Amino acid sequence: MSLTGPTDGFLCPLVANRYHIEFYRFTIRDMDTNKVVFDVERSAEDYAEFERRIPYLTKEQETSCRSIHYRFPSSFLSKGAIGAKLVFGVNGDQPVPNFRMIERHYFRNVLIKSFDFKFNFCIPHSTNTWEAIYDMPKLNQEWRDAIIKSPFETVSDSFYFVGDELIMHNKAFYAYDGEDL
């Protein structure tokens, strides 16, 4: 929470995910229209194959699998609220108490939004759904224009904790120049 800009790299290795938590589906929808603006899904089998390859990944491959590039319409910056639904599995043998995600969004090293979500408990070998509806930050026209004209300069870090232990860290890069909703 004390970071003043996006990280240069990742603050934990892939093997820190000792609970074997994996994301199967992620959906973002516009709460005003209920339209889905992003939806990606992968299977538990895909995760199992990925986990077997972790020790053999190059630094570039590891960065690639921990990063995503989103392309949203420019109108997305003016939305009042969005919904995010995450389906994830706990594939390990240990229970997961106090699972927490902190997501920090920056544009040109200025924090523009921050989210903090908590999931109190997950049992081992379970599939879980986490849905949050949250307000989008109010940006003035000057900031919206700058963000639109600067694809992928908006960056977020997503930190995942179990208790106080950082077990995952992913990055996202955003462009707001896609087709309108």
Convert the pLDDT of each residue in 56-103 to its tens digit.
Answer: 788 898 888 899 999 999 999 999 999 999 999 999 999 999 999 999
pLDDT over 60 (residue 181): no
Looking at residue 129, its pLDDT comes to: 94
The bridge status of strand 126-135 relative to strand 67-73 is unpaired
pLDDT over 60 (residue 149): yes
Distance of CA 2 to the CA centre of its chain: 19
Task: Place 49 in a pLDDT band, splitting at 50, 70 and 90.
Answer: confident
Domains of the chain: 18-178 (2.70.50.40)
Convert the pLDDT of each residue in 91-128 to its tens digit.
Answer: 999 999 999 999 999 999 999 999 899 989 999 999 99
Q: Which residues contact 84 (CB under 8 A, 6 or more apart)?
A: 26, 27, 28, 131, 132, 133, 134
- Cα separation, 44 vs 50, in Å, equals 10
